[in-house]
Amino acid sequence: MNLQDLQRNFEEWYGEPDYILTVPAPNDSSIPNKLDILYYFGEEVEKYPTDLATIGLATRRMNTPWEYAELMIDIAIGQSRQDYETLGKGFADLVWSCLDRGLSFSPNLVIQNISLPLFEKMNCLFVKDWWCFNPSLKPSVTQEEGIDKTQNER
């Protein structure tokens, strides 16, 4: 499965993103070697959150029943473009950090001792099964949602 096919299929399902940030892997041996972070800004920035989605994680096979997955996270309203870029890079770094630690993104996983820019109080991420974004894509890819949490909310 390649990045272009994943992105095309995701866009057919979720729509064309408002912005795409390509983040290269921290080292050449990482799989995936880059992630595209797709930004979907709310219709009214002051009322609706922004969705960020990875495209590229599904180029790596996970050791879970959901072998291929992409992640999505909702971001609070009212951030600047620079903040969104910082957050997108942090989101990609979080993915590679988890993969380096041997974690597979699977539903009901709580990833502890992590941080994302702009989420100072967050130290956990709960991974929730969302749905298969294109059942005709073979192998199928599951869309998983990351929900930011603090230790107290677990």
59-100 residue pLDDT tens: 888 777 677 788 888 877 666 778 888 989 998 998 888 888
Under the banding of pLDDT at 50, 70 and 90, the label for residue 41 is: confident
Give yes or no for residue 14 having a pLDDT over 90. no
**Pairing mode, if any, of strands 109-112 and 124-132?**
antiparallel
Q: Where are the alpha helices (DSSP H) in 1-154?
A: 3-14, 81-100
Give yes or no for residue 151 having a pLDDT over 70. no
Q: How far is it, in rounded angstroms, from Cα 48 to Cα 65?
A: 33
Q: How far is it, in rounded angstroms, from Cα 33 to Cα 60?
A: 10
First-to-last alpha carbon distance for the chain, in angstroms, is 35
135: number of CA atoms within 13 Å, CB side? 1
Radius of gyration, alpha carbons of the chain? 15
Amino acid identity, position 21:
L
Extract the tokens encoding 75. 């971001």
Q: How far is it, in rounded angstroms, from Cα 11 to Cα 67?
A: 21
